[in-house]
Amino acid sequence: MPNTEAALKDAMTIEGTIGVALVDYTSGMALGTAGGNKQLDLTVAAAGNTDVVRAKVRTMEHLGLNEDIEDILITLNTQYHLIRLLKGRGTNGLFLYLALDKDRANLAMARHQLRRIEAELDV
């Protein structure tokens, strides 16, 4: 089972990946990051996307939806931002955040590969 560093390195091999982070959405802290650039500060993105996850979880509670969030997709002009809430052993309150270049990424394949990385991750 890959640890955080190996999982992030694996996620960086997904076609079109700009950056990836493992985030604790109770604190907003990135537990690990890989990639990123001047336009994408993964630490700032981790904190900001924590607000997105919290808002969606809170909304689902208010609606009485007894469902699990698989992932959240944010589509920008040139990028996809994929947030995958983790459900494995010891991963409660964590999500993987993946930023993709829209022109180079295959969104369906990225979701599939992120699901595989989640299944193998040992935090």
Query: What are the pLDDT digits (tens) for 4-58?
Result: 999 999 999 999 999 999 999 989 999 999 999 988 999 999 999 999 999 999 9
Of 88, 75, 90, 99, nearest to 21 by C-alpha is 99
Beta strands per DSSP E along 4-122 = 17-24, 29-35, 71-75, 79-85, 94-101
Classify 39 as helix, strand or coil. Answer: coil
pTM here?
0.92
C-alpha atoms less than 13 angstroms from C-alpha of 56 in its C-beta half-sphere: 17
Distance (Å, rounded) from C-alpha 67 to C-alpha 38? Answer: 37
The rounded percent of the chain whose pLDDT value lies above 70 is 95
Band the pLDDT of 88: cuts 50, 70, 90.
Answer: low
Computed on alpha carbons and rounded to an integer, the radius of gyration of the chain in Å comes to 14
28 contacts: CB under 8 Å, gap ≥ 6: 46, 47, 50, 51
Q: How far is CA 105 from the centre of its chain?
A: 15
pLDDT at 91: 64
pLDDT at 92: 76
Of 37, 39, 5, nearest to 22 by C-alpha is 5
